[in-house]
Amino acid sequence: MNPRQSLHVFDRPRDHHPWEEAFQELLPLKGSAHYTEFSLHVLSRNWGMDHRVPIEREQEMLQCPTFREKSDGSRWKPQIVTYYQEQICRPSRLPTTGTTPPIPPSATVAPTNQTNRIQVDLPSHERLIHVASLNALLWRLNTSETGQTILFRERFRKQVGLPFPEIPDNGDRWQGFKSRIDDLANHLQESTEGRAIIQKMAGDLIHALGARQPPWWAGILSEASPFLERHDWTGLSRVLGLGHIEEGEWLLVWNYSVDDAGPLYRPTVVEANDSPYHFPSPPGSIFGITMPLDDKKTQGLRELLHPPLIKDRAEACCTGTLGRIDAPPVTPSVANLRQLRQDHWNRLKSTFKQDASIRWIERHSL
């Protein structure tokens, strides 16, 4: 690249960095006509601008075997995905004193990330909402061979009334699997005991996923309630920035208290993994802020992280409702992603007036 662009990693200017070559290769792709390439550019921009990752956490990350190998434009994304799977998808409820967990805790709750611990007390009447794709959760259980996941699959027919939906062996496996989840969802919705069965299934499902779950992303229930009240599941996915959800997937919804959630954390690009639909929040924001996936008039919602609910609470706090995504939440194109980011950048600039936020927004202009 000539002339060489200034290098920022986690909002810190650098002369040299192990990711320097990767970022320099990916930054010029801003004008690319290929969505895959442009989404990589977006990831590198996000990791370059996210002030929420402290230097201690960055240094700890770079000591992991994942990042010890040379990184360039083709290797960097697989590295961050591997890091997410190996270091984030771990228990995020810290053990009590004197116990030794079988798996080290998630990097999200490690001492090096405590600057992102949310210390403000939310009002007692505030509740949180978490949504997840039933399709994705059951797909993951299909590919896991722990004792808990095997037991869940064996008990499924007795609890739900249908055989456990297996991933097809041939054809378009994902589309074939989605068809089987449609059958499951329709069966549950037609059952007179559907709500209770869905709640029980949700609790058992979360328990079966066990210690290798990432922290849950959550929003403030009152901010999302207009979408819930009119059963606008696609709109809910859009305002929450869930660009990885596809048309035809089914959502599970949890509604619970802050006390149920446990310690709360502001999310960073590390927890967002490889999603190009995340946008870092400014220094003036205690929480994360979702990037809506529709028109510029929609306001982002506050977002946060917390440990997954334990089995009994995951059952009791599940709404027992399944919501089908009836249209693509977002069209994956260069022009659309660029416009969504520009609209969101403009929203942040008009909302956050603190000097630190303004300087950060201007420093990372799109």
| Nearest one of 316, 319, 315 to 224, comparing CA atoms | 319
Q: Which pair of structure tokens corresponds to residue 353?
A: 């007036």
Total residue length of the chain:
366
* 218-233 confidence digits (pLDDT tens): 999 999 999 999 999 9
* 321-347 confidence digits (pLDDT tens): 999 999 999 999 999 999 999 999 999
Buried b (16+ CB within 10 A) or exposed e, 208-236: bbbbbbbbbbbbbbebbeebbeeeebbbb
CA distances from 359 to 51, 116, 237, 356, 363 (A): 12, 20, 31, 5, 6
What percent of the chain is predicted at pLDDT more than 90?
84
Distance CA 366, CA 335 (A): 13
The residue with tokens 């009590």 is 96
Beta strands 127-133 and 7-9: pairing type?
A: unpaired
pLDDT band at residue 67, thresholds of 50, 70 and 90?
very high
* 264-285 confidence digits (pLDDT tens): 999 999 999 999 999 999 999 9
pLDDT band at residue 101, thresholds of 50, 70 and 90?
low
Q: Which pair of structure tokens corresponds to residue 80?
A: 């961050």
The DSSP call for residue 265 is: B
Q: Would you state the pLDDT for residue 1?
A: 40
The residue with tokens 């305002």 is 239
The DSSP call for residue 310 is: P
- Torsion sign over Cα 186, 188, 193, 196: negative
